[in-house]
């Protein structure tokens, strides 16, 4: 099956894809760049960039100058992970565009390639990565998906960018990336440690490097996915080959700046808050959810940890009426009011809800107010996921909001050049707009 996968990916043409697929690829590029923009403003990401160097033709979001492609891949990938707003694919259990977009964008700028080639590479890398991810059945205990199949997708995207139509190069890229997989520590990420940002940056950079190496002719030992990748990175390997159509139509983009496992809970609370507005009279909150989400039951002691905390994210949403980049801040998370309410959020694993995952992320929420009134919320498949995918207007509203938060007044120019990739624009034109925004 690897031969067919490689041949299909190598010949992928964005311009020949159905209109819905074309739009989705462009929207994912916009979403990923906007998420990187927000992340680039964090203190730890600024420090990471300040400690890096070199010059080149590629853009680091948040910097006004040119960088070497490899540095741009690492820094942009790290920024994408920072606020837990990266895209994902629930059936494959990982983050495809977040790996592929920064990998191919930096090289497309470096080589001054047309925007349609960048879009074709994003589509190819996404489709390859997700097909490998679906075959994994998850990762072993303690291993995060970042650095596994997303890295394979990054390598495939680079192979399509640099060697269009070359099925042999594509196969080398997929198997070479599968031969050098990263096994990221899930505990570091789920604890909200800033070092987890760099796992995505390193995966993007390594995947891109292996893709370029494959195009140059460096060969892996054939059979790497079944022999090595499956043995070290997969929980229940079923082999690549199952076809679910265009996978790019089955992924998700995030409505909440939290781990995706929390999104059922966050949706249920958001539905309550959309009716009530901020609540100051909550006595306690009862949350029932599936096993993976119920593990995130600790009250957070930092803003990053709050992105992996059911109690803290629930408390912030109820007390402020919303959960976004303006409310999930260190000041809010560490406030006495939030910590007090978070301590009164009871999180329970409901075995009956386990059957709803991975088809969804089910949650049931009861908010008990001081006067005894009870508010209830429920969610199964989170907003933004699969058949509940956000449409273009909703995604552009999100991208514009994030870009304007980081670069006031520049969102429209950046988004226009992202759209322009499909109409004769180039990666360098987009990069120039991003640098101007950071100046």
Q: In angstroms, rounded to a whole number, what is the distance separating the alpha carbons of residues 277 and 290?
A: 27
Given the DSSP bridges, would you call strands 66-67 and 58-59 parallel, antiparallel or unpaired?
A: antiparallel
pLDDT value, residue 79: 99
Q: With b meaning 16 or more CB within 10 Å and e meaning fewer, what string describes 272-299? A: bbeeeeebeebeebbbbbbebbbebbbb
First to last CA, the chain: 48
3-class SS of residue 368: strand
Q: Looking up tokens 């995130």, which residue turns up?
A: 296
Distance between CA atoms of residues 175 and 237, nearest Å:
15
Per DSSP, helices labelled H in 277-348 are 291-294, 303-306, 310-320, 330-333, 336-342
Q: State both tokens at 232.
A: 């070290």
Strand partners, 289: 349, 363
Q: How remote is the C-alpha of 175 from its chain's centroid?
A: 23
| 29: three-class secondary structure by DSSP | helix
What pLDDT does 242 receive?
76
Helix (H) or strand (E) holding 331: helix 330-333
Residue 345 phi/psi, 5° resolution? -100, 115
CB atoms within 10 A of CB 131: 25
- pTM for the model stands at 0.97
**Residue 312 C-alpha from the chain's centroid:** 22
Distance CA 402, CA 253 (A): 14
Are 406 and 62 in contact by the 8 Å Cβ rule? The answer is: yes
Both tokens of 57, joined, read: 């033709």
- Which residue bears the tokens 């890096």? 52
CB 181 within 8 A of CB 126: no
Q: What is the largest CA-CA distance in the chain?
A: 71
- Sorted by where each starts, the structural domains of the chain and their CATH numbers stand as 2-254+389-438 (1.10.4100.10), 260-379 (3.30.1330.120)
Do 310 and 289 touch, CB atoms closer than 8 A? Answer: yes
The whole-number pLDDT of residue 244 equals 86
Closest by CA to 266, choosing from 318, 301, 302, is 318
Q: Across-strand partners of 114?
A: 426
CB proximity list for 258: less than 8 A, separation 6 or greater: 84, 266, 306, 307, 308, 313, 323, 328
- Residue 345, C-beta contacts closer than 8 angstroms, at least 6 positions apart: 284, 285, 287, 310, 311, 314, 315
The mean pLDDT values, 10 residues at a time, for the chain of 439 residues are 95 98 99 99 98 96 98 99 98 98 99 99 99 97 98 99 99 99 98 98 99 99 97 96 90 98 99 98 99 98 98 99 98 98 99 97 99 98 96 98 98 98 98 98
């Amino acid at each position: 099956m690897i031969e067919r996968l490689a041949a299909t990916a190598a010949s992928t043409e964005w311009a020949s894809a159905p209109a819905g697929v074309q739009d989705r690829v462009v929207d994912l590029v916009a979403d990923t760049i906007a998420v990187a923009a927000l992340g680039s403003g964090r203190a730890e990401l600024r420090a990471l960039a300040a400690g890096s160097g070199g010059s080149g033709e590629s853009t680091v979001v948040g910097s006004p100058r040119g960088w070497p492609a490899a540095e741009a891949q690492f820094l942009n990938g790290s920024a994408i992970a920072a606020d837990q707003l990266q895209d994902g694919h629930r059936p494959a259990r990982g983050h495809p565009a977040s790996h592929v977009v920064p990998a191919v964008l930096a090289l497309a700028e470096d080589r001054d390639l047309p925007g349609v080639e960048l879009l074709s590479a994003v589509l190819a890398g996404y489709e390859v990565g997700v097909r490998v991810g679906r075959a994994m059945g998850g990762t072993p205990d303690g291993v995060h998906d970042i650095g596994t199949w997303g890295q394979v997708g990054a390598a495939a995207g680079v192979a399509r960018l640099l060697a269009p139509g070359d099925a042999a190069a594509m196969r080398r890229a997929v198997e070479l990336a599968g031969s050098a997989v990263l096994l990221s520590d899930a505990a570091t990420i789920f604890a909200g440690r800033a070092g987890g940002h760099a796992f995505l940056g390193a995966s993007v950079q390594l995947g891109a490097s292996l893709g370029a190496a494959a195009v140059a002719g460096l060969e892996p030992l054939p059979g790497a996915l079944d022999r090595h990748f499956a043995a070290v990175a997969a929980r229940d390997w079923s082999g690549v080959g199952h076809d679910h159509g265009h996978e790019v139509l089955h992924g998700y983009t995030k409505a909440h700046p939290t781990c995706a496992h929390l999104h059922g809970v966050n949706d249920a609370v958001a539905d309550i808050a959309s009716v009530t507005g901020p609540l100051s009279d909550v006595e306690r909150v009862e949350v029932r959810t599936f096993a993976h989400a119920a593990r995130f039951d600790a009250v957070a002691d930092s803003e990053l940890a709050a992105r992996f905390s059911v109690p803290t994210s629930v408390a912030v949403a109820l007390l402020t009426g919303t959960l976004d980049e303006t409310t999930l801040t260190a000041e809010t998370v560490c406030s006495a009011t939030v910590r007090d309410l978070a301590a009164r959020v009871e999180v329970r694993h409901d075995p009956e809800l386990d059957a709803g995952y991975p088809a969804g992320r089910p949650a049931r929420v009861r908010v008990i107010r001081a006067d005894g009134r009870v508010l209830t919320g429920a969610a199964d498949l989170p907003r933004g996921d699969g058949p509940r995918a956000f449409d273009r207007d909703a995604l552009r509203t999100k991208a514009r909001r994030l870009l304007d938060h980081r670069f006031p007044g520049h969102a429209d120019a950046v988004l226009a050049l992202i759209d322009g990739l499909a109409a004769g624009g180039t990666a360098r034109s987009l990069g120039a707009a991003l640098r101007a925004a950071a100046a």
